[in-house]
């Protein structure tokens, strides 16, 4: 797990915890919605803190902020059903368990109250939890929704909680945010700088495919809420790990269902947060439930991964629950037929619940990243492609012969190969797919997407030559 100092953001629902995390991160990470209980898992963001100006030092310190669910979102007899069909009362224990874990691991706890609403009984409940765990010395009391000095007097009511004078901030406008960050800097010890080259792995799939269970298997703890209730995960949750000395970030995303089945803004934003997680990832772990047939949603996800040229490892989860006569090879052929275009993606059989196959999945992800970042020499590319063309070149009804004039790898992530040819149309369609497959056989990026760019050599006109002279 991450060795950075942890800063937990806690409090009752709708006091602005998620907005505060987004303010610190400088981007929208947590979903912000007026509906209580939107945040369920621990959502994190890494931040570099600057020291107070008066200290005259450049000693910046890195921390990891953790947004938590609202304490006491639902009572035990609450039967509220949310917009995704979840019985939220059954999640209360899990949500509050996540809050407790976040506080226990934190070096600093930001206890957030609403300066405009004033104190309510649930605020006192959270204070009681902090005191029972004997964590008062880690707490910074934060009064949110203080947009300017005129609201600071209202915020002082929070001092009655016995946790000191509150820091007045506005997550919306940024008022007081810099001062609060400096207070946090004073509370944490200097630590390591996070590696910039951390591999980012997005974990995607249909609902209940086992994404959060996989995260917990990696962490060795209940890092994400695991429930049989579909739609439990709403945010894209970043969790940092280190395996065999190699750091990486796993991004747990919301389970996907058909867009026409979306109900409410939260599910809409969760879907787009999942798409953003794919965009910012280096490798994608595509979770497939081995006990169910490949769905239309699975196929749509496969198309999205191809559209974004993402290195993908297909994680066939719940393999331990398949019939004893289940054949891995036959299942692989089935996935190749159903997930067209991902036939090159490796398949790993796992049981996330039992922790089986987890190390293989991570090792494969690192392998795919290395393939996606490989850069081939121009000489080797020319030699390989010329050999392929000699063995089998594209055919033309008019008898035009395909000629390769120049080839070079112009980018990585994905490996992108630019080919200057006499007629790009000769290479369209089936021959492009054939060439792609042959390149995977011959080049060191056999299991990742490859992008081919065909262009025709442009001839310089006499006017171009005169202009240069």
Higher pLDDT: 173 or 243? It is 173
pLDDT tens, position by position, 12-25: 888 988 889 888 88
* Domain range 6-187, its CATH number among 3.40.50.1950, 3.40.720.10, 3.50.50.60, 3.40.50.300: 3.40.50.300
CA angle 427, 432, 435 (to 5 degrees): 110
Q: Are 357 and 240 in contact (CB under 8 A)?
A: no
- The predicted model gives 85-104 an average pLDDT of 63
Instruction: Name the CATH superfamily housing domain 199-372.
Output: P-loop containing nucleotide triphosphate hydrolases (3.40.50.300)
Q: Where are the alpha helices (DSSP H) in 114-196?
A: 121-132, 152-155, 177-187
Query: What pLDDT score was predicted for residue 187?
Result: 93
pLDDT greater at residue 25 or residue 452: 452
209 has pLDDT over 50: yes
pLDDT at 192: 66
pLDDT tens sequence across 354-373: 889 998 999 999 999 999 99
- Confidence class for position 280, pLDDT limits 50, 70, 90: confident
Domain ranges of the chain: 6-187, 199-372, 378-456
For the cut 70, the answer to whether the pLDDT of residue 39 exceeds it is no
CA distance 355 to 341: 29
Would you call 447 helix, strand, or coil by DSSP?
A: coil
378-456 matches 199-372 in CATH topology: no
For 451, the 3-state DSSP assignment is strand
pLDDT at position 233 is 41
Average pLDDT value for residue range 109-119: 93
Tell which CATH classification among 3.30.300.20, 3.30.70.20, 3.40.50.300, 3.40.1280.10 matches the domain 378-456. 3.30.300.20
- What pLDDT, on a 0 to 100 scale, did the predictor assign at position 59? 87
Q: Is the pLDDT of residue 89 over 70?
A: no
Q: What's the full length of the chain, in residues?
A: 469
Average pLDDT value over all residues in the chain: 81
Among the residue ranges 221-225, 295-299, 405-409, the one predicted with the least confidence is 221-225
Q: What is the mean pLDDT of residues 260-277?
A: 66
Question: Partners of 290 in the beta sheet?
Answer: none
Among residues 287, 296, 294, the alpha carbon closest in space to that of 316 is found at 287
Q: Report pLDDT for 31.
A: 43
451 vs 246 pLDDT, higher one:
451
Q: Which residues contact 447 (CB under 8 A, 6 or more apart)?
A: 311, 344, 345, 346, 367, 368, 371, 440
Q: Any residues with CB less than 8 A from the CB of 272 and at least 6 apart, and which? A: none
């Amino acid at each position: 797990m991450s060795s950075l100092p942890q800063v937990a953001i806690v409090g009752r629902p709708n006091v602005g915890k998620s907005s505060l995390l987004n303010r610190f991160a400088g981007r929208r990470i947590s979903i912000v919605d007026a509906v209580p209980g939107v945040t369920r898992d621990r959502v994190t963001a890494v931040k570099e803190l600057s020291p107070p100006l008066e200290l005259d030092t450049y000693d910046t310190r890195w921390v990891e902020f953790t947004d938590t669910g609202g304490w006491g979102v639902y009572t035990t007899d609450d039967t509220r059903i949310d917009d995704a069909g979840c019985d939220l009362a059954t999640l209360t224990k899990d949500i509050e368990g996540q809050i407790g874990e976040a506080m226990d691991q934190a070096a600093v706890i930001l206890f957030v109250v609403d300066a405009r609403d004033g104190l309510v009984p649930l605020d006192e409940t959270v204070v009681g939890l902090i005191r029972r765990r004997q964590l008062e010395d880690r707490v910074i009391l934060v009064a949110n929704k203080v947009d300017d000095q005129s609201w600071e007097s209202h915020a002082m009511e929070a001092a009655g909680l016995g946790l000191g004078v509150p820091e007045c901030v506005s997550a919306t406008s940024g008022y007081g945010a810099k001062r609060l960050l400096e207070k946090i800097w004073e509370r944490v010890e200097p630590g390591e700088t996070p590696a910039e080259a951390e591999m980012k792995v997005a974990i995607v799939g249909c609902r209940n495919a086992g994404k959060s269970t996989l995260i917990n298997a990696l962490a060795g703890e209940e890092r994400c809420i695991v429930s049989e209730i579909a739609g439990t995960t709403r945010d894209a949750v970043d969790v940092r790990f280190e395996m065999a000395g190699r750091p990486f970030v796993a991004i747990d995303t919301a389970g996907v269902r058909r867009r026409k089945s979306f109900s409410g803004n939260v599910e809409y934003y969760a879907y787009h947060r999942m798409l953003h997680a794919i965009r910012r990832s280096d490798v994608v772990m595509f979770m497939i439930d081995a006990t169910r047939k490949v769905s239309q949603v699975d196929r749509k996800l496969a198309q999205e991964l191809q559209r974004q040229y993402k290195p993908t490892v297909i994680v066939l989860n719940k393999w331990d629950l398949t019939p004893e006569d289940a054949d891995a090879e036959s299942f692989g052929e089935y996935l190749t037929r159903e997930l067209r275009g991902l036939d090159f993606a490796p398949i790993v059989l796992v049981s996330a619940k039992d922790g089986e196959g987890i190390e293989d999945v991570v090792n494969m992800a690192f392998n795919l990243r290395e393939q996606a970042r490989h850069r081939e020499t121009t000489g080797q590319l020319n030699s390989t492609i010329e050999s392929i063309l000699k063995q089998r070149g594209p055919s033309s009804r008019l008898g035009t012969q395909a000629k390769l004039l120049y080839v070079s790898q112009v980018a990585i992530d994905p490996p992108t190969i630019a080919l200057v040819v006499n007629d790009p149309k000769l290479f369209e369609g089936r021959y492009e797919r054939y060439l792609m497959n042959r390149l995977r056989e011959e080049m060191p990026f056999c299991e990742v997407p490859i992008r081919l760019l065909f262009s025709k050599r442009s001839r310089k006109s006499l006017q171009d030559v005169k202009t240069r002279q």
